[in-house]
Amino acid sequence: MSRPTPFVAEAAKAFDAASQYRNTWCVPLRITSAFLFLAAFISGCQRPTPQTDANAGDHSSVIQLTDDNFQSEVIESDLPVLVDMWAPWCGPCIEMKPTIEEFAAEIKGIAKVGALNVDENPFVTEKYEIDKYPTLILFEGGVEVKRVYGKKTLEQLRVILSD
């Protein structure tokens, strides 16, 4: 029987030394895995909380526009309609919501204000080539007459409608 070469002997010693630690990390890993699985299972079993929208509800003067109602609410409207094209991930869009609400209440009966979530309504978003947020479009007689971009103050909204 031949003797192992020095390299093989050293490798065997290293393997034997490492084998004593082989199973010591398995227990914490199994506990961690079980904990993560349990946490994911428990959180997945909870009923999702409905998201509330600042524009939702009966007290809102802002019309929630969709691909389905855009034609009837905007294009066929007898009143001028200011449409706020917004995105839920857009900071200025979210910051402007209270101003849009206030403006909608102020001009009720004179003009309408609508809000369209561009992420949920791709047809209108593509048709009007919306790529900047927020985009405000004023429609009169179903035709786009003015388009402005960015966060606006109440006074700036008044100017958009009066020009």
Residue-wise pLDDT tens digits, 128-159: 999 999 999 999 999 999 999 999 999 999 99
Shared-domain flag, residues 104 and 154 = yes
Contact present, 106 and 157 (Cβ < 8 Å): no
Q: Residue type at 53?
A: D
Q: What is the model's pLDDT at position 8?
A: 58
Measure the CA–CA gap between 65 and 46, rounded to whole angstroms: 31
Shared-domain flag, residues 66 and 146 = yes
HSE, side-chain direction, 13 A CA sphere, residue 5: 2
Could you list the residue range(s) of the whole structural domain that residue 31 is in? 6-45
| Residue in 23, 41, 129, 26 with CA at minimum distance from that of residue 85 | 129
Shared-domain flag, residues 40 and 83 = no
The pLDDT of residue 160 is above 70: yes
Q: Write the CATH number for 112.
A: 3.40.30.10
Q: What is the H or E stretch that residue 148 is in?
A: strand 143-149
pLDDT tens for 39-58 read 544 544 333 333 444 444 44
Domains identified in the chain, total number: 2
Q: What is the model's pLDDT at position 68?
A: 98
Q: Which residue of the set 60, 90, 146, 156 is catalytic?
A: 90
Q: What is the model's pLDDT at position 149?
A: 98
Shared-domain flag, residues 118 and 153 = yes
Shared-domain flag, residues 85 and 114 = yes
Residue 93 known to be catalytic:
yes
Shared-domain flag, residues 87 and 33 = no
Identify whether 52 is part of a domain.
no
Q: Which residue of the set 93, 104, 107, 111 is catalytic?
A: 93
Determine if the pTM surpasses 0.75: no
